[in-house]
C-alpha cells in the first residue's frame, strides 16, 4: 500500500467534510470519524497533527497533541479525537486559523475558537462566560441550520465583547497549563473572589421558562428541594448559567432571566 501524504489544504478539505469542532458538556473537542477500514488514514492524520508547530508560543510547557483513536465495535467506526484544552489552543487552533475554510464549517470553527479561548484564559469559569458558551453550543453545527425546529440565534458582538472585557481573578502565565496548575488556581481564586464578594447567593430557577419562586433561592440545597430533588444534588450547581435543563425542564441562573410567567 502506498504511503499516505497529508498536506494542509487536503486536510482542511477532509475536515470540512468529515470533521467536528464540537462542544461536549460545554468543553471543546476536535473529532474525525471514519469506517474502521480507513484506520490507516486516521493514523496518518494523527501523525500529521502531532507534528504541528506550536502557534501560541506564550505557553512554554504545552506538549504536542495527545491524540486518541477509538473503535466503536457496534458501528465499526474509528474516531480520532483531541480534548486537551492546551493542545487544542496552542497547536490546532492556530494552525486552522491560517486556513481558508470554504464551507459553513468555518463558522462553527470560529465560534469554537471563541469557546476555546474562554477556557484557556478562564472566562468560561465566570457565569457570563458559561452563559455565552451555552449560547454558542446551541448555535454551532446543526443548531443554526434553517431546517432545525429549535434553531438558535448567534450571540451578538456586544455580548461577546462584554464577556471578554471582564476582569479575570487569575492571569495566565507562560508556565501554566490548563489541565493542572492554571485550572486549579483559577477555581481556587474564583471561589475566594465569590466568597468575599457575595454574602448571599441568589439562584433563580425556571420551570420550562417560568420562574419557580418570586424571590431567588439563597442556597442550591433549597433550590433543589423546591423542585423535588435531593438537597444534596449537584445538578443545579453544575448547570447554573449554562441554559442546560435539569430533568428536561429546570434551568438555574445567578441572575433573573425574565419576568415571572
CATH number for the domain spanning 20: value is: 3.10.28.10
From 138, 164, 190, the end of a domain falls on: 164
75 found inside a domain: yes
Residue closest to 97 by CA, chosen among 141, 55, 60: 55
Judge if 90 and 215 occupy the same domain. no
Quote the pLDDT of residue 55: 95
Judge if 46 and 144 occupy the same domain. yes
171 found inside a domain: no
The number of beta carbons lying within 10 Å of the beta carbon of residue 235 is 18
Judge if 149 and 232 occupy the same domain. no
From 114, 144, 164, the end of a domain falls on: 164
247 found inside a domain: yes
Contacting residues for 255 by C-beta, under 8 A, at least 6 apart: 127, 202, 204, 241
Judge if 145 and 249 occupy the same domain. no
Judge if 41 and 126 occupy the same domain. yes
259 found inside a domain: no
Quote the pLDDT of residue 198: 43
Structural domain for 158, as ranges: 8-164
How far apart are the C-alpha atoms of 138 and 26, rounded to whole Å? 10
- How many folded domains does the chain comprise? 2
Q: Name beta bridge partners: 19.
A: 32
Judge if 220 and 98 occupy the same domain. no
Distance between the two ends of the chain, CA-based, in angstroms?
65
Classify residue 123 by its DSSP letter: G
Classify residue 203 by its DSSP letter: B
Per-residue model confidence as pLDDT tens for the chain (261 residues): 567 889 999 999 999 999 999 999 889 999 999 999 999 999 999 999 999 999 999 999 898 999 999 998 899 999 999 999 999 999 999 999 999 999 999 999 999 999 999 999 999 988 889 889 989 998 997 765 555 666 678 999 999 999 999 998 888 888 888 876 677 777 666 656 555 544 447 899 999 999 999 899 999 999 999 999 999 998 888 788 777 899 999 999 888 875 543
107 found inside a domain: yes
Size of the chain, expressed as the number of residues it contains:
261
179 found inside a domain: no
What H or E segment, with its residue span, contains residue 72? strand 68-72
How far apart are the C-alpha atoms of 250 and 52, rounded to whole Å? 43
Quote the pLDDT of residue 199: 43
How far apart are the C-alpha atoms of 64 and 49, rounded to whole Å? 9
Quote the pLDDT of residue 261: 37
Judge if 98 and 217 occupy the same domain. no
Instruction: Tell me which residue has cell 441554559.
Output: 243
Amino acid at each position: 500500500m502506498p504511503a499516505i501524504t497529508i498536506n494542509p489544504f487536503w486536510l482542511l478539505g477532509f475536515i470540512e467534510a468529515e470533521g467536528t469542532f464540537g462542544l461536549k458538556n460545554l468543553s471543546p473537542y476536535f473529532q474525525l470519524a471514519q469506517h474502521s477500514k480507513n484506520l490507516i488514514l486516521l493514523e496518518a492524520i494523527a501523525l500529521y497533527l502531532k507534528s504541528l508547530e506550536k502557534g501560541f508560543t506564550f505557553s512554554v510547557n504545552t506538549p504536542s497533541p495527545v491524540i486518541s483513536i477509538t473503535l466503536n465495535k457496534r458501528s465499526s467506526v474509528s474516531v480520532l479525537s483531541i480534548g486537551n484544552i492546551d493542545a487544542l489552543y496552542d497547536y490546532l487552533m492556530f494552525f486552522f486559523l491560517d486556513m481558508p475554510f470554504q464551507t459553513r464549517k468555518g463558522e462553527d470553527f470560529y465560534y469554537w475558537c471563541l469557546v476555546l479561548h474562554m477556557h484557556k484564559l478562564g472566562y468560561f469559569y465566570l457565569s457570563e462566560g458559561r452563559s455565552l458558551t451555552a449560547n454558542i453550543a446551541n448555535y454551532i453545527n446543526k443548531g443554526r441550520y434553517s431546517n432545525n425546529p429549535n434553531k438558535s440565534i448567534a450571540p451578538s458582538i456586544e455580548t461577546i465583547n462584554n464577556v471578554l472585557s471582564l476582569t479575570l481573578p487569575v492571569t495566565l502565565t507562560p508556565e501554566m497549563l490548563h489541565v493542572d496548575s492554571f485550572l486549579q488556581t483559577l477555581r481556587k481564586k474564583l471561589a475566594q473572589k465569590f466568597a468575599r464578594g457575595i454574602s448571599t447567593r441568589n439562584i433563580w430557577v425556571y420551570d420550562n421558562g417560568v420562574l419557580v419562586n418570586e424571590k431567588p433561592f439563597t442556597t442550591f440545597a433549597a433550590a433543589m428541594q423546591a423542585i423535588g430533588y435531593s438537597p444534596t444534588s449537584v445538578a443545579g450547581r453544575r448547570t447554573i448559567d449554562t441554559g442546560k435543563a435539569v430533568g428536561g425542564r429546570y434551568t438555574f441562573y445567578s441572575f433573573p432571566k425574565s419576568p415571572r410567567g
